[in-house]
């Protein structure tokens, strides 16, 4: 009887693992893309990109490229901001699609 009680946690372990896999995806969704000027098609550096309902964020590099990962379920909304350009919001439904984002300069 004492031996059964001592190993009873082994029965609960698979249930715990199955339960958490229903809450969280196997791996995070990774969204990649580039940000360009809509008028000149030039890459835009230091664009601030974030997901509205979370803490995930990224900055575009010197080639305008960015990568942002999230554990949130899709769809998510990306907000793209830069002081010289108009803010843009994009709804992401498929993280595997490359995002080419074109920003309009502020007037």
Q: Can you give the residue ranges of every domain in the chain? A: 27-103
Report residues of the chain scoring pLDDT below 70.
1-25
What pLDDT, on the 0 to 100 scale, is given for residue 27? 87
What pLDDT, on the 0 to 100 scale, is given for residue 54? 86
The third-level CATH classification (topology) of the domain covering 27-103 is: Immunoglobulin-like (2.60.40)
Contacts of 69 (CB under 8 A, 6+ apart): 28, 29, 30, 31, 56
What is the distance between the alpha carbons of residues 51 and 54, in angstroms, rounded to a whole number? 6
Provide φ and ψ at 44, rounded to 5°.
Answer: -115, 125
What pLDDT, on the 0 to 100 scale, is given for residue 76? 97
pTM: 0.76
Provide φ and ψ at 50, rounded to 5°.
Answer: -145, 160
């Amino acid at each position: 009887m004492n031996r059964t009680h001592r190993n009873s946690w082994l029965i609960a372990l698979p249930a715990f693992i199955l339960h958490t896999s229903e809450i969280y995806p196997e791996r995070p969704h990774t969204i990649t893309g580039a940000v360009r000027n809509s008028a000149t098609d030039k890459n835009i550096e230091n664009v601030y990109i974030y997901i509205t309902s979370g803490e995930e964020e990224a900055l575009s590099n010197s080639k305008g490229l960015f990568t942002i990962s999230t554990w949130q379920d899709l769809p998510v909304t990306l907000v793209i901001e830069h002081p010289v350009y108009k803010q843009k919001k994009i709804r992401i439904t498929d993280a595997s699609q490359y995002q080419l984002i074109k920003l309009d300069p502020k007037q």
